[in-house]
Structure 1
């Protein structure tokens, strides 16, 4: 305990004195997780890849997800659970479990993030998606770690939002200024030919030079079996319907069930995966409807969903980043039914990747949501090409590129700061 207190009170080490550490590499990952599973699952994939390739490495994930303890991590990875916050239907936020104000919850989270940074003394700090964290909570840690010579990285998914919403949102949060002030590198977990998420921000050329397009993050089947008992329909070719965390997947689930209710000639069965955040009343209503359909069944939650995806013949999904990576990794014919509220992120991704022939899209953004449209789309799944039939260089090289950039960042730092590498074309 005395050593911990000493480490928390000492001044940051000068960056001019910092060099490749004799101890194992230490990476701190911030994943704010105010909603869903996307940020956590992306951070977990990166953390597991790091410890898999770096002997003696340690990775700590800071997360607000209430279900982080349900997931397995590689040896060398651990997590710190900060108090959760949740997004309300009107777009506002509140504390998830604590009976405190949102400001107090954010203050507590901010203090825990800073204390973790001081105690862990990482060599690299990877911030997921939000340059300043949720309501600026990561800024004190950025200040401390920058002074200590820690290398700072912002990692963002391939699509953030439509430019007309992203630009004012980032201006309000001071995100653009944070990119200039803090981050040594910006990793876009996608391809430049698919989408350029920061193009509309009119970033300085210096910041554009820090951007690397890594490619998408390949996923693997977990080495240990799932404890979830799969229904009988998984013993034959089936369609997996997944909405990720499930907190905003009601429309997709309803649409799929209605297709089977209206069209008894649909042959291929479907397994619906609800996710841990689905509303209980809606889940109960869905279960009652599914029970009446012999070609439908459900699973509440599977923390090793990759096994189900590998097993499935095809997939129907909302089109979040992680699900898209999994569809590519397991080479599944996939129908994307993107969410269009409150963001167009999933819709933009679906449009661009359908353009490349990687998936097919069914949307109610501009056309009515009818059972007949879904039933026909489900039939067409069997005839669409697999992602592997489309040749796109570096498509799933994301984790390899992350390792390359991590190695470059951990090279001993000279007395002068080198020019940033050029953005990947």
Structure 2
């Protein structure tokens, strides 16, 4: 664990190793946290073996395995409602004091850690502009290289353009960011072209490919978690997983009532963020059956997914990458509101024949059961570019070369 005394002077710290900060705002689900954990573990393998500090707002971060050389600062949490509005997750009702607290904590942490590279996930100015003070500080210091990491899809193009103009994201990227890494394949969806970002991101942006999470299959935690869920039962299983679970109740409820093929079992992972009344309702449905196991949370799902006969999920970035990388037959029921991100992604992949899809308006237990009982074939479409993680490592290694040389000289 890193302590304040480790950061007494930037000069002392620079003699150790290059430093990377990974920021995510973490308001709905585990997506940003899991993506940064994947990046952190991979970045530790590059030649410079950087020290990595994750900054985010998901207190469940402590339940996930941290790679060696990686630590985290967990901010007091925001929650994001189904309507897209932010509120404090636990600390009172007033948003302004929480935003100020988070902003000051981020700035103080980054100042003390003094990173060579900072990668910001998806939101150029941070949630509710909480990064503004940190961005100005880093620009004044002139030492830290800044990268914005974007998902393959944000929202419908008109919505993205309006949001980026309203939030002054174009100006922020031009003023503060050296590069924009898009974690996707433009043959599936070209976010820069479709959303009118090409001019604003000119000279900075590149599609690096989807981030392949199967490197995590080597983790002993993945095997241990799968074994704990499956026990000695060797029956083929269908896995239904909804990430953090806050907006996954409808899919969980449909799966809990769906007919499974004879001789199969179901594994239902609800997530820890599902509202209690909905969780109780789903638990009640599952207790009436002998062929479904309910799992509230799993630290590392990749081995459980790899062993599944079929996967049913929502259309978040990380779960979709896992499905694409593993090549398992998958049915995705995307979230359609408040953002169309999952819907756009899922529609594009379904058109290519890589997954099956049910629109959330058409979701029923019968629809799930019909898909489970229908014959399956391997994904038929051209596979997307899954080389994003390798490219990120090469780009980061190049950025950190001057920092490593400076550390050796000191």
Normalised to the residue count of structure 2, the TM-score between the two structures is 0.89
Do residues 396 (structure 1) and 356 (structure 2) align? no
Q: How far, CA to CA, are the matches of 1:265 and 1:396 in structure 2?
A: 32
Count of matched residue pairs: 392
Equivalences for residues 264-303 of structure 1 within 5 A:
268-303=264-299
1:364 aligned partner: 360
Do residues 171 (structure 1) and 169 (structure 2) align? no
1:50 aligned partner: 43
2:348 aligned partner: 352
Provide closer, same or farther for how the CA distance between residues 195 and 89 of structure 1 changes in structure 2, counting only shifts above 3 A: closer
Provide closer, same or farther for how the CA distance between residues 197 and 233 of structure 1 changes in structure 2, counting only shifts above 3 A: farther
Q: How far, CA to CA, are the matches of 2:67 and 2:9 in structure 1?
A: 29
8 A Cα contact 1:234 1:311, kept in partner = no
Do residues 409 (structure 1) and 408 (structure 2) align? no
Provide closer, same or farther for how the CA distance between residues 362 and 202 of structure 1 changes in structure 2, counting only shifts above 3 A: closer
Unaligned runs of 5+ in 1: 11-20, 414-425
Provide closer, same or farther for how the CA distance between residues 114 and 234 of structure 1 changes in structure 2, counting only shifts above 3 A: farther
| Shift, 1:274, TM fit | 0.7
Provide closer, same or farther for how the CA distance between residues 212 and 267 of structure 1 changes in structure 2, counting only shifts above 3 A: same
1:325 aligned partner: 321
Provide closer, same or farther for how the CA distance between residues 412 and 53 of structure 1 changes in structure 2, counting only shifts above 3 A: closer
8 A Cα contact 1:33 1:63, kept in partner = yes
2:224 aligned partner: 226
The farther-off stretch of 220-229 and 151-160 is: 220-229
The farther-off stretch of 324-333 and 38-47 is: 324-333
The ranges of structure 1 where at least 4 consecutive aligned residues each deviate by more than 6 angstroms after the TM superposition are none
Equivalences for residues 23-34 of structure 1 within 5 A:
23-34=16-27
Q: How far, CA to CA, are the matches of 2:275 and 2:109 in structure 1?
A: 33
Provide closer, same or farther for how the CA distance between residues 181 and 124 of structure 1 changes in structure 2, counting only shifts above 3 A: same
8 A Cα contact 1:244 1:275, kept in partner = yes
Equivalences for residues 57-206 of structure 1 within 5 A:
57-99=50-92, 101-147=94-140, 148-203=142-197, 205=199
Q: How far, CA to CA, are the matches of 1:287 and 1:2 in structure 2?
A: 47
Do residues 378 (structure 1) and 367 (structure 2) align? no
Unaligned runs of 5+ in 2: 404-410
Q: How far, CA to CA, are the matches of 1:35 and 1:372 in structure 2?
A: 29
8 A Cα contact 1:167 1:200, kept in partner = no
Q: How far, CA to CA, are the matches of 2:399 and 2:46 in structure 1?
A: 15
8 A Cα contact 1:233 1:269, kept in partner = no
Provide closer, same or farther for how the CA distance between residues 257 and 120 of structure 1 changes in structure 2, counting only shifts above 3 A: same
Q: How far, CA to CA, are the matches of 1:190 and 1:44 in structure 2?
A: 18
2:406 aligned partner: none
2:248 aligned partner: 249
Provide closer, same or farther for how the CA distance between residues 370 and 275 of structure 1 changes in structure 2, counting only shifts above 3 A: closer
| Shift, 1:324, TM fit | 0.7
Is the partner of 1:208 in helix, strand or coil?
coil
8 A Cα contact 2:170 2:200, kept in partner = no
Do residues 39 (structure 1) and 38 (structure 2) align? no
8 A Cα contact 1:52 1:74, kept in partner = no
8 A Cα contact 2:183 2:207, kept in partner = yes
Is the partner of 1:53 in helix, strand or coil?
coil
Deviations 1:286-306 (A, max 9, x none): 111112223322111111111
Provide closer, same or farther for how the CA distance between residues 99 and 246 of structure 1 changes in structure 2, counting only shifts above 3 A: same
Is the partner of 2:293 in helix, strand or coil?
strand
Q: How far, CA to CA, are the matches of 1:269 and 1:276 in structure 2?
A: 22
Normalised to the residue count of structure 1, the TM-score between the two structures is 0.86
Provide closer, same or farther for how the CA distance between residues 2 and 277 of structure 1 changes in structure 2, counting only shifts above 3 A: closer
Q: How far, CA to CA, are the matches of 1:196 and 1:379 in structure 2?
A: 35
